[in-house]
Structure 1
Amino acid sequence: MKRPWKDVSTPLRDGMVHWPGDPECKITRVNRMEDGAVCNLTHLSMSAHTDAPRHFIADGMTMEQLPFEAVIGRCRVFELDCEDQITADDLKKIRLSSSQRVLFKTRNSTRSWSMNEFDKDFVSLRADAAQYLADLGVMTVGVDYLSIGGFNKDGVETHQIMLGAGIWVIEGLNLSDIKPGYYELICLPLKLEGADGAPCRVVLR
Structure 2
Amino acid sequence: MTSEKWIDISQPLREDIAHWPGDTPFSYEVVFRKSETGSVNIGKMVTSLHTGTHIDAPFHFLENGTRVTDLDINIFIGPCLVIDVSQHELIDVEVLKKFEIKGSKRILLRTSARRDLTVFPKKIPLLTLEAIDYLKNQDITLIGIDLPSVDQIDSKELPIHHRIYKHGIYILENVLLDHIKPGKYELSALPLPIEYADGSLVRAAVRPLSNKNGVGV
**TM, length-normalised to structure 1:** 0.87
Q: Distance in 2 between matches of 1:33 and 1:107?
A: 45
Alpha-carbon shift at residue 83 of structure 1 (Å): 4.3
Q: Which runs of 5+ in 1 are unaligned?
A: none
Aligned residues: 201
Match 2:141 to one of 133, 139, 142: 139
Alpha-carbon shift at residue 105 of structure 1 (Å): 0.9
Is contact 1:82–1:123 with CA below 8 Å preserved after alignment? no
Is contact 1:53–1:164 with CA below 8 Å preserved after alignment? no
* Cα deviation 1:43-78 (Å, max 9, x = unaligned): 111111411122212332211122132111111101
Q: Which amino acid is the alignment partner of residue 122 of structure 1?
A: I
Q: Which amino acid is the alignment partner of residue 60 of structure 2?
A: H
Alpha-carbon shift at residue 98 of structure 1 (Å): 6.0
Q: CA-atom RMSD, angstroms? A: 2.2
Is contact 1:57–1:164 with CA below 8 Å preserved after alignment? no
Q: Which amino acid is the alignment partner of residue 46 of structure 1?
A: T
Tell me whether 1:32 sits opposite 2:71 in the alignment: no
Question: In the alignment, what sits opposite 2:14?
Answer: 13
* Cα deviation 1:69-94 (Å, max 9, x = unaligned): 21111111011134423123212222
Pair 1:159–1:89, CA change in 2 (3 A)? same
Question: In the alignment, what sits opposite 2:80?
Answer: 75
More helix by share: 1
SS in 2 for 1:188: coil
Runs of 4+ in 1 over 3 A off after TM superposition: 134-137
Bigger shift: 140-149 or 119-128? Answer: 119-128
Match 1:123 to one of 122, 125, 130: 125
Pair 1:89–1:155, CA change in 2 (3 A)? farther
Is contact 1:127–1:154 with CA below 8 Å preserved after alignment? no
Alpha-carbon shift at residue 186 of structure 1 (Å): 1.1
Q: Which amino acid is the alignment partner of residue 17 of structure 2?
A: M
Question: In the alignment, what sits opposite 2:212?
Answer: none
* Cα deviation 1:20-41 (Å, max 9, x = unaligned): 222111212211336x443211
Q: Which runs of 5+ in 2 are unaligned?
A: 208-217
Question: In the alignment, what sits opposite 1:160?
Answer: 162
Bigger shift: 182-191 or 64-73? Answer: 64-73
Superposition map of 1:1-205 within 5 A? 2-33=3-34, 36-38=36-38, 39-48=40-49, 49-97=54-102, 100-108=105-113, 112-152=114-154, 156-205=158-207
Pair 1:57–1:153, CA change in 2 (3 A)? closer
